């Protein structure tokens, strides 16, 4: 069966072009969106993510401010920085790159971010609003998946959607967005019995488990839509998803590549959330 490649890189590029124009017209009113990116410690993957986010901001005209703190930063120091950013009218969005070092309380740090600057949508206020179907900011990766489906004209209402993975960042919010879009949603995890059988029921299969090439063709029904949120590095250094593209693409009607699928969409949604935050703060920024 021929499959449609869900090209996140191309859609992200189109979204960024539109955002560029929007930011240009905001600039004419004297408004520039600002994103603070906080990174603690020396995790090499986090460094790459943060550099990419800064590059994206620059590309569309968002001002980015990086705060690179040493590994041994105390919780008080980090919370103090967040307090200052919360009050700074030049800052519309605050993103603390995760994971943070073990001696820092992640939940406490996230809760300290003003919820109207929480462009990652990890604050319990925003997760709560998402749960009741009125998200202010939707978490970037799941929101990016919804955009990708919409752009490809893939109907969600009434479909069987199986989400593999239940993280707070992807699996749980993903299942909520699909539920609000009227899919029938099943969430699977490491204790799920007969995972293969459950996955084979999916019209739309979304995988976010962090295991390289785990989902093979025998997990997938002929004609299913398959979204691969995974980003793993194989022993040979190559990037690969959670889905074995080779065998799954023979059955799927549509599938995301890795890289170039969900990843660029996550990055685009962060920019979108930052612009949204800026529009919410407009009055304060002008005064
Ligand atoms: N670490 C991995 N993914 C993310 C993300 O989307 N946001 C933040 N802040 N940290 C991450």
Residue 98 Cα to ligand 1 middle (Å): 5
Q: State which of 46, 98, 112 you would mutate to test the pocket of ligand 1, scoring each by most atoms of that ligand within 8 A of its C-beta.
A: 98
Of ligand 1's listed atoms, the one at least distance from the Cα of 120 is 7
3-state SS, one letter per residue, for the chain: CCCEECCHHHHHHHHHHHHHHHHHHHHHCCCCCEEEEEEECCCHHHHHHHHHHHHHHHHHCCEEEEEEECCCCCHHHHHHHHHHHHHCCCCCEEEECCCCCCCCCHHHHHHHCCHHHCCCCCCHHHHHHHHCCCCCCCCHHHHHHHHHHHHCCCCCCCCEEEEECCCCCCHHHHHHHHHHCCCEEEEECCCCCCHHHHHCCCCEEEECCCCCCCECHHHCCCCCEEEECCCEECCCCCEECCECHHHHCCCCCEECCCCCCHHHHHHHHHHHHHHHHHHHHHHHHHC
Of ligand 1's listed atoms, the one at least distance from the Cα of 140 is 6
Q: CA-CA distance, 138 to 128, in Å (whole number)?
A: 11
| Cβ-based neighbour number of residue 28 at 10 Å | 7
- Residue 77 a catalytic site member: no
CATH 3.40.50.10860 residue window(s) in the chain: 30-115
Ligand 1 within 6 A of CB of 106: no
Q: Which of 56, 92, 116, 120 is catalytic?
A: 120
- Residue 196 a catalytic site member: no
* pLDDT of res. 287: 63
Ligand 1 within 6 A of CB of 118: no
The CATH superfamily assigned to 140-263 is NAD(P)-binding Rossmann-like Domain (3.40.50.720)
Q: CA-CA distance, 134 to 39, in Å (whole number)?
A: 29
Specify the residue with its C-alpha closest to ligand 1, atom 4.
98
CATH 3.40.50.720 residue window(s) in the chain: 140-263
What averages of pLDDT result for each successive group of 10 residues across the chain (287 residues)?
95 98 97 98 96 98 98 98 98 98 98 98 98 96 98 98 98 98 98 98 98 98 98 92 98 98 98 98 81
* pLDDT of res. 124: 98
Specify the residue with its C-alpha closest to ligand 1, atom 3.
98
* pLDDT of res. 191: 98
Ligand 1 within 6 A of CB of 36: no
Ligand 1 within 6 A of CB of 181: no
- Residue 53 a catalytic site member: yes
Ligand 1 within 6 A of CB of 35: no
Q: CA-CA distance, 279 to 116, in Å (whole number)?
A: 11
Beta bridge partners of 39: 68
CATH of domain 30-115: 3.40.50.10860
* pLDDT of res. 283: 81
Q: CA-CA distance, 92 to 125, in Å (whole number)?
A: 17
Specify the residue with its C-alpha closest to ligand 1, atom 2.
98
Ligand 1 within 6 A of CB of 98: yes
């Amino acid at each position: 069966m021929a499959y449609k490649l869900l090209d996140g890189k191309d859609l992200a590029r189109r979204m960024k072009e539109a955002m560029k124009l929007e930011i240009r017209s905001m600039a004419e009113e004297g408004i520039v969106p600002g994103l603070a990116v906080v990174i603690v410690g020396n995790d090499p993957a986090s460094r790459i993510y943060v550099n990419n986010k800064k590059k994206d901001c620059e590309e569309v005209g968002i001002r980015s401010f990086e705060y690179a703190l040493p590994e041994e930063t105390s919780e008080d120091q980090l919370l103090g920085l967040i307090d200052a950013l919360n009050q700074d009218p030049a800052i519309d969005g605050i993103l603390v790159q995760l994971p943070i070092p073990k001696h820092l309380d992640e939940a406490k740090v996230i809760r300290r971010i003003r919820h109207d600057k929480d462009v990652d949508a990890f604050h319990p206020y925003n997760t709560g609003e998402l749960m009741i179907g009125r998200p202010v900011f939707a978490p970037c990766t799941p929101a990016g998946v919804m955009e990708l489906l919409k752009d490809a004209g893939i109907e969600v209402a009434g479909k069987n959607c199986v989400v593999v993975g239940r993280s707070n960042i992807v699996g749980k919010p993903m299942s909520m967005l699909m539920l609000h879009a009227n899919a029938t949603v099943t969430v699977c995890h490491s204790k799920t019995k007969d995972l293969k059988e459950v996955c084979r029921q999916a019209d739309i299969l979304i995988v976010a488990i962090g295991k390289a090439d785990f989902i093979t063709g025998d997990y997938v029904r002929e004609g299913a839509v398959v979204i691969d949120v995974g980003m793993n590095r194989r022993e040979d250094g190559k990037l690969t998803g959670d889905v074995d593209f080779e065998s799954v693409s023979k059955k799927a009607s549509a599938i995301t590549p890795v890289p170039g699928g969900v990843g660029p969409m996550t990055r685009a949604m962060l920019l979108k959330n930052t612009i949204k935050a800026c529009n919410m703060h407009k009055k304060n920024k002008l005064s």
